[in-house]
Structure 1
Amino acid sequence: MKKGKYYILLIILLAASSCEFLGMESESKMDNTENLVARVGNTFLYKTDISDLTDPSMSAEDSAKITERFIDNWIKKELFVREASSNSKIDQTEIQRKVEAYRYTLISYEYQKLMVEQQLNREVSEEEIKQYYSDNIDNFQLRQNILRGRYLKILQAAQKKADVRRWMKSDRPEDLESLKSYGFQFASDFSLQDSTWINFDDLTKNSPFSTIENKIQFLRRNRYVEESDSLYLYLFRIHEFKLSEQVSPLEYVKEDIKNIIINKRKVEIAKSLENKVYERAKKNEDYEIYK
């Protein structure tokens, strides 16, 4: 069922339940007319229904506008549902069937979600991740070029450019720390976590490297490269790269695999819950099939 249909059914469900509830509640509240805010037919809106719309930090004017807008929308909704309900061409039996079906779906979903959250183990070991990666390696083909490297964008007028170039090309830990310190203070844009895989397009957007036509050739031929424009100098060092359609490194898809494993656990818990409910009902003879 599409989202729009769910929304319509939800309105009908809420309208049906509110009519029944307010019908009972109106008997106890009708005497207290001071609590009434609005009425459409025999359906009432009370002050308690709108008490949480505003908070003390709001101005009186803002609170009044929000409350007025809510009341106006409530009246329009109730009038529309009332009009629709009185239309003889609408199959009320079919509407009720859909309402019950949607109610069943909502209750089942909320209960299932509650049980899953109570039982779900979100801890995923490195061994589980590696095993899933190994078992499903064909599913982890890259859809983009990725790399490990360093990228720095600084003003043409920036100081210590010679030092920056030396730090960019160096593998010494102390030089990398100097480069990071410089980047935080003076760079317009930078990425210096060269142990982390990153999408080539994400790394180089808003730079001259983003307009390279043959990116595969660029990655294969360059390890260190500079580009410039009227304002900025762009420094780019490539440690390692993987091309689109090659197998993704484990580190690049680790979080994806973790989420996949957790979602599989959710499905297993939901199925187990459904089976347990069925088996318990079968044992207790809570249902019967007539032939």
Structure 2
Amino acid sequence: MRLVKIGTLKFLLVGTCLLAGLLCISCDSFGKKEPEREVVARVGEEYLYLDDISDLFADNLSAEDSIALASNLITKWATQRLLLSRAKFNLSEDKIAEFESLISDYRADLYTRAYKEALVAQSEDTLILDSELSEFYEKERVNFRLQEKIVQLRFIELPLQFLNREEVTERLRRFNENDLRFLDSVGVQFRKLHFNDSLWVPVSRILDEIPPLTAENESDNLKKSQFIELEDGSGVYLIKVTDVLGVNEIAPLSYIEPRLRQVLLNRRKMKYLRELESDLINEAIRRNEFEIYDNAQENTITN
């Protein structure tokens, strides 16, 4: 192990590839000796190696910038190690033991969580049938109450000087197949349009899209089967409301379907993990890899 002075770090960072080549050439052709790692700093018995930090340097860094970055990385590494050393020296043994237990638990949790997520991703069935969704909705529908008013509507925003306003208004009101084809054909002239009146939309989103509608006047305007015309300094808004559901009413399935599918997927995932853990314990007992001693249980209960 060879120590490297900070002053020479510039050459190590810039010439890493050259150094690797020289090391390979100098290796014994018969023994295939591992190249010696370059040390750039030491704190106590811990060492920071060049290959620990070399990947953090961009190819387009100048030599001066590489030196500055290396100095910062080394200082940060040394400060962390020194603080950790002082902390272990000054903290009580009980506190250190507590931290070590937490670290051990966290490490185990990281490994097991990653393993379980990999198993779930490999085997989880993500297909939720419509029949499952409908059954779950009907069973739990009383729990799906709206927190916000929702509306089904279609609307168009026209420029203030739009010439064919009367025909567009009439066709948006009536809205048969011919009307829809006509409105689609001239839709490029509209500033905004929304024709999907089977889609439930929260009122907060409607207020964002139609500025003349406000929290103060929306209840007077957004009523079932109502047609309204509003205007502001930027445009004319033609709005046909087809249906409205208020706060605390039961949310329609189509509105909450994505959330319900996720709930069912999460339940399926939890069931799979419970079965996985149960199978793991049973398999370990069968293989004599896991055993609970009766006296340990008795001592636990009595204590």
Task: Give the TM-score, by structure 1 length.
Answer: 0.76
Amino acid aligned to 1:232: G
Does residue 125 of structure 2 align to residue 121 of structure 1? yes
The whole-number CA distance in structure 1 between the counterparts of 2:260 and 2:105 is 35
- The aligned counterpart of 1:60 is 61
Aligned 1:203-282 pairs, distance under 5 A: 203-205=206-208, 207-213=210-216, 215-220=218-223, 223-282=226-285
Structure of higher RCO (CA pairs closer than 8 Å, 6+ residues apart): 1
Q: Report how far residue 148 of structure 1 moved.
A: 1.4
* Alpha carbons 1:151, 1:236 under 8 Å: kept: yes
Match of 1:200 in 2: 203
- Structure 2: which amino acid aligns with 1:107? Y
SS of the residue 1:211 aligns to:
coil
Q: Could you tell me whether the CA contact under 8 Å between 2:156 and 2:239 is conserved in 1?
A: yes
2:3 alignment counterpart: none
Distance 1:69 1:177, change over 3 A: farther
CA contact (8 A) 2:152 2:199 kept: yes
AA partner of residue 37 (structure 2): N
2:104 corresponds, among 97, 100, 105, to: 100
Between 78-87 and 247-256, report the one with greater CA deviation. Answer: 78-87
Gap regions ≥5 residues in structure 2: 1-32, 296-303
Alpha-carbon distance in structure 1 between the residues aligned to 2:235 and 2:43: 65
User: Which structure has the larger Rg?
Assistant: 2
2:91 alignment partner in structure 1: 88
Structure 1 counterpart of 2:210, which letter? S
CA 1:227 to 1:77, structure 2 compared with 1: closer, same or farther past 3 Å? Answer: farther
Change (3 A) 1:157 1:84: farther
Match of 2:194 in 1: 191
- Cα–Cα, structure 1 residues 227 and 274, in superposed 2: closer, same or farther, change >3 Å? same
Aligned counterparts of 2:229 and 2:157: Cα–Cα separation in 1: 10
Partner SS for 1:281: helix
The count of residues paired between Structure 1 and Structure 2 equals 259
RMSD: 3.0
Deviation at 1:116, TM superposition (A): 1.3
The Cα of 1:251 is off from its aligned counterpart by 0.7
Q: Deviations over 1:155-213 (max 9, x none)?
A: 21334333432332232234224434544x34444332222111122122153444142
- Unaligned 5+ segments in structure 1 are 1-27
Secondary structure of the equivalent of 1:158? coil
Partner amino acid, structure 2, of 1:204: L
Separation (CA, whole Å) in 1 of partners of 2:274 and 2:85: 40
Counterpart of 1:141, as a letter, is R
Partner amino acid, structure 2, of 1:171? F
For the 8 Å contact 1:151–1:203, the answer to whether it is kept is: no
Name the CA shift for 1:280/1:188 in 2 (closer, same or farther; >3 Å).
Answer: same
SS at match of 1:122: coil
Q: Which amino acid aligns with 1:268?
A: K
1:176 corresponds to which residue? 180
Quick check: 2:225–2:243 contact (8 Å CA) kept in 1?
no
- Amino acid aligned to 2:118: L
**What are the superposed Cα offsets for residues 252-287 of structure 1, whole Å, 9 maximum, x if unpaired?**
111111111111011001101110111111222222
Instruction: Give the percent of matched residue pairs that are identical in Structure 1 and Structure 2.
Output: 24
* Matches of 1:101 and 1:202, distance apart in 2: 45
Amino acid in structure 1 at the alignment position of 2:267: K
Residue aligning to 2:156: 152
Q: Does the 8 Å contact 1:216/1:243 carry over to 2?
A: no
Q: Partners in 1 of 2:148 and 2:221 — Cα distance?
A: 14
Check the 8 A contact 1:180/1:192 in 2, yes or no: no
Distance 1:273 1:154, change over 3 A: same
- Given residue 86 of structure 1, which amino acid in structure 2 is its aligned partner? F
SS of corresponding position for 1:190: strand
Deviation at 1:71, TM superposition (A): 5.1
